[in-house]
Amino acid sequence: MTTLVARPARSVKASEQRHLLLATQHLRLMMLMLLFAAAVTVVVGRLAWLAIEGVAPAIEVIDSRYKNFKFRLKFEDGADYIAGLSKMTPLKRTTEVITHRDGGMISTVVNSPGQSKSEPITLERGITLSHTFEEWANQVFSPLGDGGNSLAGMRRNIIIELLNLQGNPVIKWKVYGCWVSEFNALPELDANAFAFAFESIVMLNHPFERDTDFAEEDAGIFNAG
């Protein structure tokens, strides 16, 4: 025969209070977690907005930079552009540095500008029916001998045009007194190769300058739309 033992009323009431306290604490914990999640969502959204606002001006700046793969060259005394031109080395000027110090100075030197020189320019183009490079190089050296040289025509002024993506000139540079110091008539030939044949010249030149009379693009076009 089973004997039922009645639990004291005080013990039952204490147990209910503990369960109620645990439930209250659990509810508070869930509310705190929801508030934390909401705060994180707001912060992440704000950071994303700031990132977009910060990137947008940078994108406009990048779009306003001209590309290096659209350009063309021509002689100042001619109307036709050099055909097949695909590569040109940088337009570069270097100024030598002269250092000096007096005996009574502190242990340092004074730097002053010296002579300036323009670096040689290399032009490379695919071999075509045009003999522009060869004819110009022959002004310095002729297979016919010294009598075939034409020193009067060996120096020519070059105009370099940088183009935008629409193919319109945006910046022009003038390079003065160019003459051919090196002429590569043929590249290395290989019956097993898969490439175009290129010829190239190296030009020595006098100082160059940007054509300030040429109207560049309006910077406002990059902010349109």
pLDDT score recorded for residue 224: 44
The backbone torsions φ and ψ at residue 78, rounded to the nearest 5 degrees and listed phi first, read -135, 160
Could you tell me which residues come within 8 angstroms of residue 96 by beta carbon, excluding any fewer than 6 positions away? 113, 114, 115, 116, 117
Q: Taking the chain, what is the end-to-end CA distance rounded to the nearest angstrom?
A: 93
Q: Give mean pLDDT, residues 3-24.
A: 65
Could you tell me which residues come within 8 angstroms of residue 89 by beta carbon, excluding any fewer than 6 positions away? 119, 120, 121, 122
pTM: 0.65
Residues of the chain above pLDDT 90, percent: 44
Q: For the chain, what is the mean pLDDT? A: 83
Residue 6, SS3? Answer: coil
pLDDT of 222 above 50: no
Higher pLDDT, 3 or 199: 199
Cα dihedral 72/74/78/80 (nearest 10): -30
Please state the domain extents for the chain.
Answer: 13-65, 71-218
**Tokens standing for 43?**
């912060």
Closest CA to 164 of 73, 65, 91: 65
pLDDT score recorded for residue 225: 42
Question: Could you confirm whether domain 71-218 is CATH 2.40.70.10?
Answer: no
pLDDT score recorded for residue 54: 57
The tens digit of pLDDT for each residue in 146-179 reads 777 777 788 999 999 999 988 999 999 999 999 9
The tens digit of pLDDT for each residue in 83-96 reads 889 999 999 999 99
The tens digit of pLDDT for each residue in 43-61 reads 777 776 666 665 545 545 5
Find out whether 132 and 200 touch, Cβ atoms under 8 Å. no
Q: Give the DSSP H/E element, type plus range, for residue 2.
A: none
The backbone torsions φ and ψ at residue 54, rounded to the nearest 5 degrees and listed phi first, read -75, -30
